[in-house]
Amino acid sequence: MIKLENRGKRVAFLALLLCFALLLSLPLSAVARREEREVLLVGGIPFGVRFFTDGILVVGYCDVTCGGRAKNPARDAGLQPGDCIIEVNGQRPQSVTELSEAIHNAGGTPLTLTVRHKGEDKQVTLSPVACDKDGKCRTGLWVRDSGAGIGTVTFVRQEDLSFGGLGHGICDGESGCLVPMARGSVLGAEIGGIKKGAVGAPGELKGHFSAGKSGTVLQNTECGVFGYFGEQPTLPAGAMPIGYREELRDGAATLWCTLDDNVTREYGIEISDIHRNATGNKCFTVTVTDMDLLEKTGGIVQGMSGSPIVQNGKLVGAVTHVLIGDPTTGYGIFIENMLENMAQALG
């Protein structure tokens, strides 16, 4: 009896020690996480992007009048906006011009196309028809092989000058599909004017390329564009630790952006409606409260995408979208979502 009692006491004592050890481990884990917290250079500056698509992007249709009737060979073949034409009769076209030449050289015979549709390659047969107007063979395709635009840098890693911007992907304006990017260049940009936002009419930062190539864009993802700068850009906000999604709180915060005086400044906002499990680019609501920013832009405008958001001295995310019905309000993305996409994009 005495041996069993002593053994029971030993088991209870060991259990207490285990519980105590677990309790001690909780704050130690939190401390370890704080020690591992990444510090990034905060953006807020405009940047230009000029890119080429990975394949020839289908952005829409244009009917062909043949025999007095409207026809569309591309639609009949099953091509859809957002598809990318990778090969034509086994040859890879490098531009829209090369695609047009391949169609012309076929002389009206059916073409075998390798098309990338939602990440998977398939083959389709495209049969051009002669246009009544000029007799030339046409396919009814509306395509694109390149593009350009201006956005805002969210952050830069000081150790290797890798960067993230926009907080959402570059999408085709016609199809709304994410542009599959083969390669792109970062260009210097300046803001030359502002189209103020209004209900039902999103505003815009009107900019232009002001310098040559200053870096490379390597990937275009749903959570931003990522690449490398050649030299460290001037970033007035300086360096800050990142803030985790569980640390984000409803209430006051700031965003950094550059307007038409081309000075990067901090403006007041409110954060609300936080969706902590969100994995995309609409993780919480952003409402502009700064009177200066409201006076100049009406709220969130195109070109501000990627503007870094700071709360309690930490970089917590970026502005991504504006609400069409309320230009003072939009969405933001967690900085963690951008960093996770960046790790996948850049390796």
Active site residue 168: yes
- Chain centroid, CA 323 distance in Å: 17
Q: Round to whole Å and give the CA distance between 76 and 93.
A: 22
Task: Output the six-digit token pair for 23.
Answer: 């309790």
Residues 6+ apart with CB under 8 A from 17: none
Q: Round to whole Å and give the CA distance between 280 and 322.
A: 15
Instruction: Please provide residue 22's backbone torsions phi and psi, each rounded to the nearest 5 degrees.
Output: -65, -40
Rg (CA), the chain: 26
User: Which of these is catalytic: 54, 76, 260, 290?
Assistant: 290
Active site residue 127: no
Tokens 């199809």 belong to 175
User: Which of these is catalytic: 83, 145, 162, 168?
Assistant: 168
Tokens 């930062």 belong to 205
Q: Round to whole Å and give the CA distance between 143 and 95.
A: 10
CB burial of 75-114 (b: ≥16 within 10 Å; e: otherwise) equals eebebeebbbbbbbeeeebeebeebbebbeebeeeebebb
Could you tell me if residue 7 is left (phi over 0), alpha (psi between -120 and 50 degrees) or otherwise beta?
alpha
Task: Output the six-digit token pair for 269.
Answer: 């906002």
User: Which of these is catalytic: 175, 305, 307, 321?
Assistant: 305
Task: Output the six-digit token pair for 288.
Answer: 């502009």
Q: Round to whole Å and give the CA distance between 87 and 267.
A: 48
CA dist list (Å): 63 to 75, 206, 216, 340: 9, 34, 37, 42
Active site residue 29: no
For the annotated catalytic residues, the residue numbers are 168, 290, 305
